Structure 1
Amino acid sequence: MVNNSEENPWQITSQEEVYSNPWISLIHHEVINPSGNPGIYGKIHYKNRAIGVLPLDKDMNTYLVGQYRFVLNQYSWEMPEGGAPLGTDPLDSAKRELLEETGLKAHRWTELNRIHLSNSVGDEYGSVYLAQDLEQFEAEPEETEQLIIKKLPFSEVYRMVCNSEITDSLTVAAVLRVQLMIMEGKL
């Protein structure tokens, strides 16, 4: 049966926070599912908004950050990223992350995307920006970051996305959006 309503068909009968740290909490829900049957649902609540910044210089070069990602157990190339505490201005956090990870400051900012990163078990939400008119300063990485910075032509980064050499969702979304802007003559 197809339901044409956009109203929430889930009923929560109880919920319990089963784990919490400064970044996430895990909530166990007892529910009545859309078909009317009892069930369970686990939700990961993120306490920060994900932030991504795609820096692009006047020569159409961009900067990737390479680091070993603990949860993936593999090395990852991606644009500068971080988190913004909920309720704060995400652009301020984007500016901070760009400087921390690359040493770059941008004089022109464009919001590219607002994106849900997982809609099945997590409520993580992200904001992605294009940073232009760049100036180089000293990078200030956090103690948990062992970073390698790579300056590449944007066309090479687009190729890496298309060949799944870059798999980070924020980076993929940003690169594809900027490529579309280039093709439409908007950049």
Structure 2
Amino acid sequence: MTENPWKTKSIQTIYENPWIRVEHHEVINPAGKDGIYGKAHFKNRAMAVIPIDEEGNTWLVGQYRYTLEEYSWEIPMGGGPIELDRLEAVKRELKEETGLTAEKWTEIMRIHTSNSVTDEVGYIYLAENLTQGETEFEETEVLQIRKLPFSEVLQWVMDGRITDSISVAGILKAARILGY
């Protein structure tokens, strides 16, 4: 492990809500000069899942992303409280957004979502041996759900129709694991 070349002089919270905290850091940069750094701290972990059925199908969730001002197709995902067990958090997200439950769970990836401005960490799971139930959308969610062959979803990544970084990374990793 290499030593941290940055020195923190002070940290000031600029904004905070139940999901994030934005901080202003006064620093000494690696060149030894005074500088600043902005950091977005996430109060939840990003939890994502790729459900795969026996026929090789998976589920995508479509929703309008306010921050991007565009519609996005993604794997099922959401925020999991840090104090909650990761597996329990991802099970909750799968059920909420697709109505699915799974008997087999495999963590396939840990990912930093944007390590230049945030400390957010995401975890991606593969869910198998699925059972369909009812969705439990949150009040902020207006979602479309699509069941598609995994090979088609992989093509959506390659065509640029899926641009969410967690979805892209998870789908590519799952493709490798599943032999696509």
TM-score by length of 2: 0.98
Per-residue CA distance 1:22-77 (angstroms, 9 max, x = gap): 00001101110000000000100000000001000000000000000111100000
Q: Distance in 2 between matches of 1:103 and 1:87?
A: 24
2:116 is paired with a residue whose SS is: coil
Aligned residues with identical type, % of pairs = 56
The 5 Å alignment of 1:85-124 reads 85-124=81-120
Per-residue CA distance 1:132-178 (angstroms, 9 max, x = gap): 00000011100100011000000000000011110111111111011
Which letter maps to 1:162?
A: M
Aligned to 2:155: 159
Q: Cα distance, 1:182 vs. partner?
A: 2.4
- Runs of 4+ in structure 1 off by over 3 angstroms are none
1:145 is paired with a residue whose SS is: coil
* Counterpart among 150, 168, 174 of residue 164 in structure 2: 168
* Counterpart among 169, 172, 177 of residue 173 in structure 2: 177
Q: Distance in 2 between matches of 1:170 and 1:13?
A: 33
* Counterpart among 43, 51, 58 of residue 55 in structure 1: 51
1:35 is paired with a residue whose SS is: coil
Aligned to 1:11: 7
1:125 equivalent in alignment to 2:121: yes
Aligned to 1:30: 26
Per-residue CA distance 1:100-121 (angstroms, 9 max, x = gap): 1000000000001000001101
Q: Distance in 2 between matches of 1:183 and 1:107?
A: 21
Count of matched residue positions in the alignment of Structure 1 and Structure 2: 180
2:139 is paired with a residue whose SS is: coil
Structure 1: 5+ residue runs without aligned partners?
A: none
1:65 equivalent in alignment to 2:61: yes
Q: Distance in 1 between matches of 2:88 and 2:135?
A: 17
TM-score by length of 1: 0.94
Which letter maps to 1:149?
A: I
Aligned to 1:81: 77
